[in-house]
Amino acid sequence: PDEPDTAAERAPAAPHPLRVLIPTQEFLRSRKGQLVLAEWIISFLTFVCYVASTAVALMTVPLIEFLWALFTFFAYITKLNEQMKGLLWPLLDFIRCVSAAIIYFVISLVAVSKYTCGASKAAAVLGFIATIVFAIDFYLIFNDLTKFLKKEDSPADAETRKSDDSIRAFGQNFGVL
């Protein structure tokens, strides 16, 4: 009498489709998860400070970086980055972080030097903090990329490349290639 009558009652419930949008504890505890979440939050707070300040003309950059960090965050939690085989995701992420660090540094310097209200000063301080967070992220991505490239460059690959280069040089010297 205690056993379920149908197969549907015995099967576990399917997870809700929106469950995929909730980050896992594993991702939030990872270094990348914490950095992307920090970039997202700092970009949003910087955007709010610029909107409330006299430096409202500078709000576009934090808004774009907030949206880009939000997309990156959701791409990592939904594993969209692993599904996009045509894109070099680490390189795209590296370019995102380098450009964000440089742009945040520049607009923070402009906000500190040109505007005097408290909200623009707070936005500038948050911008400098964002510069540091993005710089840490691109430094770590760069280290991961160099480790990956060093693994690919095995001694056999280097020897093959040397022989190919010597053949190419020989052909160019004699007008064959």
CB-count exposure of residue 74 (10 Å: 0-12, 13-18, 19+): middle
- pLDDT attached to residue 158: 52
Asked if 102 and 36 count as a contact pair (C-beta separation under 8 A), the reply is no
Rounded Cα distance, 58 and 43, in Å? 12
Condensed to tens digits (0 to 9), the pLDDT of residues 92-124 reads 888 989 999 999 999 999 999 999 899 999 999
What's the predicted TM-score (pTM) here? 0.70
CA distances from 4 to 1, 10, 33, 162 (A): 8, 6, 42, 69
